[in-house]
Every structure is written in structure tokens, then in C-alpha cells.
Amino acid sequence: MKQRIQEVDLISAEEKEACELPRITEDKNTGRSRKLYIESYGCQMNFSDSEIVMSIMLENGFDTTSKPEEADVIFLNTCSIRDNAEQKVRFRLKHFNGIKRRRPGLMVGVLGCMAERLKTKLLEEEKIVDMVVGPDAYRSLPSLIREVDDGHKAVNVFLSKEETYADISPVRLTGDGLTAYISIMRGCDNMCSFCVVPFTRGRERSRDAKTIVQEAIDLFQNGYREVTLLGQNVDSYKWESEDQTEKVNFAQLMEMVALVHPDLRIRFSTSHPKDITDEVLYTMAKYENICNYIHLPAQSGNNRILDRMARNYTREFYLEKIKAIKRIVGEDCGISTDLIIGFCGETEEEHQDTIALMAEVVYDYAYMFAYSERPGTPAAKKYADDVPEEVKSRRLSEIITLHRETALIKNKASVGKTMKVLIDGVSKKSDEFLRGRCSNNAVVLFPRKNYQKGQYVMVRVTDCNTATLFGETVEN
């Protein structure tokens, strides 16, 4: 049995505490007869999808609970990007099995990418599961629940070429009333050899730009001050009206959302190096409320490995994009990345190319993983997962160590600067301090005074550690 490699990201301690737990349902009790409990795992898109599911279920007679022991229906919205993500779900299913033995009428459904990947096999492997529903089939949840009520197992994993859920108003699960995700597109047309997303989420389709802008307006009017435009590859966003008189690309969409209000911050995720355009960068530079932060996954710093990964760019091309970001958006633009260590056939020299790339770019954040072979992907069919686990572990430790060093260097460069910060809450370590984010996504802690969540304040950075900036507010 293969040893499991720890999957590591370098983020603030406060964020890490949140990321290690699934997103769960909040309590909403209006006296309805049945209660729903949802846990969401994986990427931001999954959390956004859970908000769609919540909306559908509330419209169909459900209240919600934060306690699975009180639920009539439990949904796990799942991720398949790495084996570790699926194992977490299987562990939770075993836990829910104990609840189901005490409450035989409890209904358990697996939603999302794991449901799409395993389909009916999931019903056979996990006897507790009553329902398997893919990411494009959430409108069918009420009818599927009726099937289970009638004593049947229920499955819908149909992948749609049109579904965007544009007409459904999500029920926000973040709980902070300040930040929200807006899904702008679904699916992915990139066929990276290591990735299951094209098989679990289908082909790319873009949502009506007008519905996106209206959602942003509604959020701002309800007190939200930051939205993240979500897509597997936002730079591929392209919407066209039915009469073909209107066409909107991602840069134009971002501008439309930025114009909703100057106090509404805009972030986006995720970009693909081969698709991000100078037009996007110039739009970022034009509007102060579009955050100076780009997540630009490199995956590897070696051209042969990039070719094996089917990433469709070279190391040199990637570095030119980094130069363009710094030239157009500015040297202070935050840049984060994804890195896969120990991909099929990766040599020690090729690993060193990734280390050299990290040293040259100096990332603000990095999400670093040992390669985890996913069944059915092109890489699994074509290449042997032949880098020993102990080598993966050692290489992963090396890039983590390097990133901690470079992230500290990047944060030290902020000391002495004054930054605009959106306050998003109280520090978990001390009620005497508030926390917020700069435009470049850096986390800042500063004395509480009389400031409130949702305010913008100017903070002069006085100190830092690897993951967090510390400062004092500066009055205008």
C-alpha cells in the first residue's frame, strides 16, 4: 500500500484552521418538517455549488441544520482532484453510518465530482449512500429525494452542455455577510493529463454576463463588499447573447462588475497561463477595486514535465506572463501558484527546475502537492507513477522550505508600506486585534480600536512573519 503524502499549502494559521474543516450548513429553522445538512469539500467551486443546492432545497420545503444528528437528509459535496480528498469523504460516510443505524430513515447523498467520477460504483462501495448526483444535476434533487422516499436508490450524473444555474439565487454559506463567490462559468476544456475536472464537470460554458452583474449588485446592496468571480479557467470566459449582438470576454466582464460600485472589491480564480491576456491585466490596473492578486498555477518549472502534463505552455512563456503582470499591474501584485511534485518520470534535475522557478518568481502563496494519480486521467493511462513516495516526500519538503523563505522575503518587502485593508473579522488569537486583507491578498492584523467588520482602513505595516503582516491604522 502506498504511503500517503501530506498535501501542503502555505497560508496563514487562521486560514489553515478553516481550510482543514469542511464547510457545513448553518441552522435555518422555519418550522418545516425536514432538515438538510451539507458538508462541502475541495475547491471554491464546490462551495459555490453548495449554495446552489441550498437554494434548491429551501425552495422545496427543507430547513437546514448544523448538526448531522438532527438531519433528515445529509449531503456531502465532494472533490476528486486528489485521492486524499476522496478518502476524507469515505471517512465521513463511515461516521454517518453510525448515525444512520440510530436513525434508519436518514437519507445520505454524495454530490459533486466524486459522484460524477464513480457514479453507480459509489452505491456499491458505500452501502450507506442512497443518492449520487453530479455537478450538473442539482435541479433534479427534489425528484431524486422522492425516489429514495419510495425505497429506491437514486442517481443522476448527466453532464450538461448548457447548465450554468444562472437563474438560481445562491443561499450564501460563508456566514460572514461580507465576501461571496459568483460562479461565472462551469466546466473545463483543458485536458491537463493529471486532472479529472474535464471528466467530472464537463465542457466549458459561460454564464449570461447580465445575470453575473445583477448578482454582484444584489450582493453589494445586501452589505457584501468582496466578490470572487469563479471558474475552472476564468480567462476562457466568453458569453454571447442569443441574437449575437452582445459578446463579453473575461476582461470586459470584470470591468462590468467593477463598475457596480467602487467599494465592491473583485477577485477572480483561477487563471491559466496560456489564456490570461494583457487586456485582463490592463483592466486590473485601470480599476482600484479589482484586487492586485492573480492565482497563476505553474504546476512545474520544467518543460518536459509541462509537456507531459499537457499544460500547453513552456517555462519561458510562463515567466513572460509573470513579467507582464509586474509591468502592467505592478510589482506589488500578489501572485500565487499550484505546484505538483513528483509527476510521472520527474528527474532530480527537473525537480531542481521547479525550485529555480520558485526562486525566480518569489510567490506570495503556493499550494504544493505530491502527485496523486487519478484513475481515468490521460496521465494514468499513458505514464507510470514511478517516482518513489519517499522521493516525493523529500522533494515536497524542499519546496515547502524554500517557499517559507521566499514568502518571508516577500512579506518583509511590505514592512513600512501603507495598504488599504478590508476588515473581515476579529483575529482568532486575540479579541484586541482585527484582521483583514490587502488588495494583494496579504492577511493583516492590527489593533481593534473602534473599527468594524466591512470597513476599509489604511494600515501601515510594521512587522511580519511568513504568513501574516502586522500593522497600525493610519487615519486619513
pLDDT of residue 476: 65
Q: Residue 149: name the closest of 184, 106, 92 by CA.
A: 106
Q: How far apart are CA 262 and CA 265, in angstroms?
A: 7
Residue tagged 491576456 (cell numbers): 277
Sequence-distant (≥ 6) Cβ neighbours of residue 198 within 8 angstroms? 187, 188, 189, 190, 191
As a whole number, the mean pLDDT across the chain is 91
pLDDT of residue 77: 95
Please give the torsion angle defined by the CA atoms of residues 166, 169, 175 and 180, in that order, rounded to the nearest 10 degrees: 40
Longest CA span, the chain = 66
Q: How far apart are CA 395 and CA 381, in angstroms?
A: 24
pLDDT of residue 83: 84
For the chain, where do the domains classified as CATH 3.40.50.12160 start and end? 21-156
Residue 156 pLDDT more than 50?
yes
Region 418-474: CATH code: 2.40.50.140
For residue range 293-346, list pLDDT tens digits in order. Answer: 999 999 999 999 999 999 999 999 999 999 999 999 999 999 999 999 999 999
Share of the chain above pLDDT 70, in %: 93
For the chain, where do the domains classified as CATH 2.40.50.140 start and end? 418-474
Residue 264 pLDDT more than 50?
yes
In which band, very low, low, confident or very high, does the pLDDT at 140 lie, cut at 50, 70 and 90? very high
Residue type at position 259: L
pLDDT of residue 173: 73
- Tell me, which fold does domain 21-156 have in CATH? Rossmann fold (3.40.50)
Sequence-distant (≥ 6) Cβ neighbours of residue 274 within 8 angstroms? 311, 312, 313, 317
Q: How far apart are CA 47 and CA 15, in angstroms?
A: 16
Q: Which residues of 372-394 are buried (b: 16+ CB within 10 A; e: fewer)?
A: bbbeebbbbeebebebeeebbbe
- State the DSSP H helix or E strand holding residue 451, giving kind and residue range, or none if neither: none
Section 21-29 average pLDDT: 61
DSSP-assigned letter for residue 81: S
Section 75-97 average pLDDT: 90
Which superfamily does 179-412 belong to? tm_1862 like domain (3.80.30.20)
In which band, very low, low, confident or very high, does the pLDDT at 401 lie, cut at 50, 70 and 90? very high
pLDDT of residue 85: 85
Listed in sequence order, the DSSP H helices in 228-338 are 250-258, 278-286, 303-308, 315-328
Q: Which residue has the higher pLDDT, 17 or 132?
A: 132
Query: CA-based angle 454:458:464, to the nearest 5?
Result: 100
Instruction: Find the range with the poorest average confidence among 26-40, 119-133, 293-307.
Output: 26-40
Query: CA-based angle 296:301:307, to the nearest 5?
Result: 95
For the chain, where do the domains classified as CATH 3.80.30.20 start and end? 179-412
Helix, strand or coil for residue 152? coil
Residue 417 pLDDT more than 70?
yes
In which band, very low, low, confident or very high, does the pLDDT at 174 lie, cut at 50, 70 and 90? low
Section 3-19 average pLDDT: 38
Q: How far apart are CA 371 and CA 387, in angstroms?
A: 9
Q: How far apart are CA 56 and CA 77, in angstroms?
A: 14
Share of the chain above pLDDT 90, in %: 83
Q: What is the pTM of this model?
A: 0.89
Helix, strand or coil for residue 86? helix
Distances (CA, A) of 299 to 12, 166, 307, 341, 382: 22, 31, 11, 8, 19
Helix, strand or coil for residue 471? strand
In which band, very low, low, confident or very high, does the pLDDT at 175 lie, cut at 50, 70 and 90? low
